[in-house]
Structure 1
Amino acid sequence: MKKAMVLLATEPAERDAKLAREALGRRGDDRDAWVLIEAACAATPDHLLRKVGVAACPAFQEPLRKLLVSLVRSYRCAEGSVDMAVAKQEAAQLAEAIRRKKQPHGGEVVRIVSTRSKPQLAATFRCYKEQHGSDIEEDMKQYSSSQFARMLKIAVWCLTSPEKHFAEVIRYSILGLGTDEDALTRAIVSRADIDTKKIKQEYRVRFKTTVTDDVVGDTSGYYMDILLALVGKE
């Protein structure tokens, strides 16, 4: 409960920085990388975390480190026109790296995902699906099982459909024995004023239950009350 209250009372940029520093001090597993990707890709540009010392962190190894560094250094315009010719060209470049070469860690992939605006990327990913009949994140999973591919999928979700990622974070935080309270708190608190409604809808469709039911089933006391207040009625 204390951590939830602290995060609630913290400005978004400061909260991102605090969570990132904590992630950099841990083992560097998938869930630590999630925190950095969320700060870099799901945050709005006005409070985007710019420098978190990823390059100096021994927990993350190449090529994942290169992706994380590129993402946290990037500043994306919130608005902007979409160039469909570029979208089609870069969709083809992504397919070449992911489907044919099976090398999602290629330089062009990192460049595209870490530098293009969110509207431009959304257009590129639509072109990708039109060209190949599958979503880019599905192909990442099919053609590569590496940690890099898993984190690249998270980056794509956070950039274009963050509700997918945060629904998954909530679900994973309550599965199995015990609760990953850090992940559960982070997901619900950080998205409370942004896209909670979309997350709840995504959660219901994917997992055939509700965020409310799972929070009630896995937490208790004032901590549960805080989370339910943020989630809202379902």
Structure 2
Amino acid sequence: PATSRGAMTLWAMDPAARDAKLAYKALRKKGGDRHAWVLIEVACASSPDHLVAVRKAYCSAYGSSLEEDVAACPLYKEPLKQFLVRLVSSYRYGGEHVDGELARAEAADLHGAVAAKKQPLHGDVVRIVSSRSKPQLKATFQHYKQEHGKAIDEVLEGNRNDKLSAMLKTAVWCLTSPEKHFAEVIRSSIIGLGTDEESLTRAIVSRAEVDMKKVKEEYKVRYKTTVTKDVVGDTSGYYQGILLTLIGAE
């Protein structure tokens, strides 16, 4: 069946080519913010070098750049479009160095925009989230929590009816704790009417060799059940077999 073939095809691909293909498809799908999730995952949930490899793979496969295709995509309006363009075209510092003063200052900038002005994709926010290294952002988010008593993702979660807050939360998670995001993708593809096989396959295939152990732990803590149990309850046959192999023992 198509689902198991799709899963096998994705699994067999080079990771950069796989992400390029996922991004290409996401830019051509109407409806729902889930397709923007794909672009955020590709841009934020891996290393800076991986994103460069994805952009190269995208250019060779589709004859245009990922950045220009995101910028030209009619599905996204400003300021979300600008945010997505900045994310996919970023090249972050990959080292461990953190500037504490900068983290404190930028935590204040984020709080001013997100909590005070309720503008989750304000210019400062976009600049900070799309350009800083992951260790730097972790330090900034820690300062945010220390100063304001609430983590930035909790603040964004509180504005859950606001699409821009939801997108920023996805980026924050993908940058600093991708297992939270992918646990949510798996859960939301299973719960509800019918399975969203595409999202389920994408999450499991793309994290299988990255951080599946963490995703499984996060899932257990948050949903009081296991990924294995939910996948068994919701899929069948050869497709189920492939997913369970990628998930690994629990």
User: Partner of 2:168 in structure 1?
Assistant: 152
Q: CA-to-partner distance for each residue in 1:95-120, whole Å, 9 max, x for gaps?
A: 01111111112100000000000000
Count of matched residue positions in the alignment of Structure 1 and Structure 2: 234
Aligned pairs for 1:99-178 (under 5 A) are 99-143=115-159, 145-178=161-194
User: Partner of 2:229 in structure 1?
Assistant: 213
The 8 Å contact of residues 64 and 147 in structure 1, kept in 2 or not, is answered as no
Q: What is the TM-score normalised by the length of structure 2?
A: 0.91
Gap change, CA 1:199 and 1:144, over 3 Å in 2? closer
Query: In 2, distance between residues paired with 1:181 and 1:44?
Result: 26
RMSD of aligned alpha carbons: 1.1
Aligned to 1:39, what secondary structure does the other structure show? Answer: helix
| CA deviation after TM superposition for structure 1 residue 227, in Å | 0.5
Q: What is the TM-score normalised by the length of structure 1?
A: 0.97
Whether 2:185 is the aligned partner of 1:182: answer: no
User: Partner of 1:228 in structure 2?
Assistant: 244
Gap change, CA 1:39 and 1:24, over 3 Å in 2? same
User: Partner of 1:45 in structure 2?
Assistant: 48
Q: Which runs of 5+ in 2 are unaligned?
A: 56-64
Question: What is the percent sequence identity of the aligned residues?
Answer: 62
Q: Which runs of 5+ in 1 are unaligned?
A: none
The 8 Å contact of residues 102 and 144 in structure 1, kept in 2 or not, is answered as no
Q: Amino acid of the residue matched to residue 35 of structure 1?
A: V
Aligned to 2:183, what secondary structure does the other structure show? Answer: helix
Whether 2:37 is the aligned partner of 1:34: answer: yes
The 8 Å contact of residues 118 and 160 in structure 1, kept in 2 or not, is answered as yes
Aligned pairs for 1:45-124 (under 5 A) are 45-48=48-51, 49-50=54-55, 51-52=65-66, 53-124=69-140
